[in-house]
Structure 1
Amino acid sequence: MSSAYRSLRGCLSMMCLGLLFLLPAQAYEKLSDDTLRALPRPGRDFDIHNGALLSPILQTRVPGTAGHTAVLQHFVDFFQTTLPKWEIEFQNSTAKTPISKGKDVPFINFIATRDPPGARVGDVERLTLVAHYDSKLEPKGFIGAIDSAAPCAMIMHAMRSIDDALDRKWAAMKAQGIDPSLEEQRGIQVFFLDGEEAFKDWSTSDSLYGARAMAESWDHQMYPATSTFKTPLSAISLFVLLDLLGSKSPYIQSYYPTTHWAYQGLGTLEQRLRSMKLLKAGSGEPWFIDSSKDSHQIKPYGGIQDDHIPFLARGVEILHLIDFIPFKGFPPVWHTSKDDGEHLDMDTTEDWSVLVTAFAAEWMELEGYFDLLEHKLRDEGIEAEVVRLNKKTEL
């Protein structure tokens, strides 16, 4: 081996080492103030009676019922019509429940994925946003607005809000002649999981039906040997589970040291949006109460049983966003007939949708790819309308 070759190889090794230190810091790019201001709010789409995103989910949706089928179709229609570049698939399973009298009940997990154009499926790591969409059998007529109709709508709004920016980013990379195979391949996906609720009493067998089936299936579904990732499960860069969100003044803890930095990213976004007066819920107590702690100071209180558990057991990195106060419990409407649209705090529910949008945009490094001109024109139009109405009032 020539000395020149050894020298070149040494330089390349040092460059690669340098990149290893740089990548973690570059893997989460902050949004500018202008971009935060431009992020859309759901507005009328979250109207509980006829809003395009939220209202179709606000119905009983026990697995195997007509309401359950209607909500699943709502997800399909949304992605096929509003986000047609997303790939839709279903993960199906069956299981006996304590009330099914020995018969198998079907469970259907909904998955929507958006990967960079031309990327090989096994080479893409994905931010994964998750909520369950089934509702409890009891009490009769249970809606489950925070549990988890509103979280589903929040995720839908966030994906719609970043979709054009994803297009612009990937188009810009292509125009610049960037070879995707030399770049980190980062995609995004949505899980709406089925069968989270117990049919009778919560147990390891009567709960998490869809999550258990999917984690097991994906752990054994192998990508080609030459792929970057071995399985769809190992390709999940972060599993963000939203549950019991939509009540006023949420209390969100950090449960896992390895994802505490991502939790802190959300806490920072909340603080920035609040300081810029972009949160409708006002200037109350911070939601992310562990933001100032380091990862060694987290007190998980044993954790909370939820859809993330089967994935956590298989090594997936988890960020659990659930409203829970230690020694006090979940929001007062939890598992009661009051968990309906009328008891949602709509300012908080909208704020969550903006926060989730901002987090996804930062994770996907979309700064510079949002249409700020459209936002400016929209604001100018609103201001012009206010002036017009004021003049009309003065007359």
Structure 2
Amino acid sequence: MLLISALLPLVPLLSLGTAYSTLSDNTLKGIPSPHDEFDIEKGAILAPILRPRVSGTEGNEAVRQHFLDFFRLQLPKWKVELHNSTSTTPTSNGKEIPFVNIIATRDPPGMDQGEIGRITLAAHYDSKLTPTDFIGATDSAAPCAMLLHAARSLDDALTKKWEMMAAEGFLDLGGAEGVQILLLDGEEAFQSWTDTDSLYGARALASDWEYAFHPVMSTYRNPLDSISLFVLLDLLGSKGPTVPSYFKTTHWAYKNMARLERRLRENGAFKSSPNHASKLAKRKDKKPRREPHFLIDENKNDNSFIGGFVQDDHVPFMARGVEVLHIIPSPFPRVWHEMSDDGEHLDMDTVEDWSRLVTAFVGEWMELEGFFDYKKEKRDEYEGKSEF
């Protein structure tokens, strides 16, 4: 499915002018947990994704409808579009297989498309053809669920920020960013990974967006140019992941996420931590243990980047100049492409922690401090939902 490759030479330097502001400890502690919504059997967000969903099958269509229902019923302010393409595959005997990407966007109101930059969060929702009935919980049902939870956790704060900016006339000055979620179809190879048997949906979308020009004199030339950072989640949900920093030009963004992870751990908000209150309560010695980290390269220096990366849905975008933060473990989890990559083998504390970290990262990127309302009643409202 994924291969280690040499670094593409086409990625330009990232502008360091991107806005970013720190969230307070109280805000970090208040980020809601998905709790029962990530239950692998009955959870309203995760459970419907934990099924075979090979591109072009009924399972794939059912999961896509689950996503569409989620945005329609819970996040009606998000604009949702479908990007359709078809392709033959090595196993389709000449038949065209449909690939359907979901593009969910939450933009500041009243602004022209060519004037809005976006942080883009992505994961693939298809599953592998073989072995038969493969689920792909880490690959990538759990990452998709994380993105849905993050979108809902951020939604009210985005509304409040943009209402304040509009009232004070700041939106008229331009420069406001939106949030975009890509749920991509056809990442998996049908037979064996090649440039043509993989990344079907991502390749089609990046190609189409390259020529979907905004009006002349727009700040951003096309939808690709509008992406300020492409954050791709993959293979997340197993216990004890280690995620390197793959790209020198986005190492500063990686460090921001790593700093957030450190703060969440220090604040006792990471449930997978051996020093979380729930873990300490079960230990006789009560002594703190060494704190592991998901993001292991916070202190990596510029001379340590050797130019390799993992093949994944970011490649067609990166080849066209989009800056990428790839959140994928190395080594891959033991369940990778095995039948054991199912809901039973997810470490749910780790899944929740990734959800919390991604939400916090986007909250800082979007400068949402002061706009969250994570009071107990609001958390109960989120966490008590069991169906749409």
TM over 0.5: yes
Deviation of the 1:174 alpha carbon: 2.0
d(CA) in 2 for partners of 1:176 and 1:102? 58
Report SS of the residue matched to 2:310. Answer: coil
Residue 19 of structure 1 corresponds to: none
Equivalent residues of 1:257, 1:296 under 8 A apart: no
Residue 360 of structure 2 corresponds to: 358
Q: How does 1:1-395 map to 2 (within 5 A)?
A: 24=16, 27-178=19-170, 180-283=171-274, 284-300=291-307, 302-325=308-331, 330-372=332-374, 374-375=375-376
Deviation of the 1:376 alpha carbon: 8.1
Report SS of the residue matched to 1:303. Answer: strand
d(CA) in 1 for partners of 2:102 and 2:372? 28
Report SS of the residue matched to 1:319. Answer: strand
Residue 384 of structure 1 corresponds to: none
Query: Could you tell me the TM-score, scaled by structure 2's length?
Result: 0.88
Larger RCO (CA within 8 A; separation ≥ 6): 2
d(CA) in 1 for partners of 2:16 and 2:244? 23
Moved over 6 A (4+): 376-379
Query: Could you tell me the TM-score, scaled by structure 1's length?
Result: 0.86
Give the aligned residue type for 1:263. Answer: Y
Equivalent residues of 2:32, 2:379 under 8 A apart: no
Report SS of the residue matched to 1:192. Answer: strand
CA deviation string 1:123-168 (max 9, x = no partner): 1000000000000010011000000000000000000000000011
Give the aligned residue type for 1:128. Answer: T
Report SS of the residue matched to 2:120. Answer: strand
Give the aligned residue type for 1:65. Answer: T
d(CA) in 1 for partners of 2:42 and 2:306? 41
d(CA) in 2 for partners of 1:154 and 1:165? 18
Equivalent residues of 1:215, 1:310 under 8 A apart: yes
Equivalent residues of 2:229, 2:323 under 8 A apart: yes
CA deviation string 1:250-300 (max 9, x = no partner): 110111111100000110000000001100001441111110113332345
Aligned residues: 350
Deviation of the 1:173 alpha carbon: 1.2
Report SS of the residue matched to 1:336. Answer: coil
Deviation of the 1:63 alpha carbon: 1.0
Equivalent residues of 2:158, 2:371 under 8 A apart: yes
Report SS of the residue matched to 1:230. Answer: coil
Query: Over alpha carbons, which structure has the higher Rg?
Result: 1
Equivalent residues of 1:290, 1:298 under 8 A apart: no
Report SS of the residue matched to 2:129. Answer: coil
Q: Over the residues paired in the alignment, what is the CA RMSD in angstroms?
A: 1.5
d(CA) in 2 for partners of 1:296 and 1:214? 34
Report SS of the residue matched to 1:315. Answer: coil
Residue 16 of structure 1 corresponds to: none
d(CA) in 2 for partners of 1:216 and 1:183? 27
Distance of aligned partners of 1:217 and 1:34 in 2 relative to their CA distance in 1, 3 Å threshold = same
Residue 17 of structure 1 corresponds to: none
Distance of aligned partners of 1:58 and 1:254 in 2 relative to their CA distance in 1, 3 Å threshold = same
d(CA) in 1 for partners of 2:152 and 2:202? 24
Equivalent residues of 2:40, 2:47 under 8 A apart: yes
Give the aligned residue type for 2:24. Answer: S
Give the aligned residue type for 1:28. Answer: Y
Deviation of the 1:232 alpha carbon: 0.4
Give the aligned residue type for 1:360. Answer: V
